Amino acid sequence: MGQTFTKPNHLPHLTFHGLRHAFATLALRQGVQTKVLSKAVGHSSIGITMDLYQHVLDEMQDELADAISDVLIKAD
């Protein structure tokens, strides 16, 4: 993306690789299944996707635990 598009639209400069990583991270956060994402980004195995994006999945596990905790606390 050239700055002729990103700068006027207040978007960060991203390389193609950065855009691909952002796509994958956002897809996981939106609940796209890892296997589906793996195929979409062209990884030869789901293991590659898991290795590259495990940090996102770990964060999502923490968010899930917090959400369940909130529900349980409100039930008291």
Which domain covers residue 38, as residue numbers?
3-75
pTM: 0.65
A 10 A CB-CB count for 49 gives 22
Q: Which of 8, 21, 25, 24 is nearest to 59 (CA)?
A: 25
pLDDT greater than 50 at residue 1: no
In this prediction, residue 16 carries a pLDDT of 86
Please tell me the total count of domains within the chain.
Answer: 1
Q: What is the pLDDT of residues 16-68, one digit of tens each?
A: 888 898 899 999 989 899 999 999 999 999 999 999 888 887 887 888 888 88
In this prediction, residue 33 carries a pLDDT of 93
Band the pLDDT of 8: cuts 50, 70, 90. Answer: confident
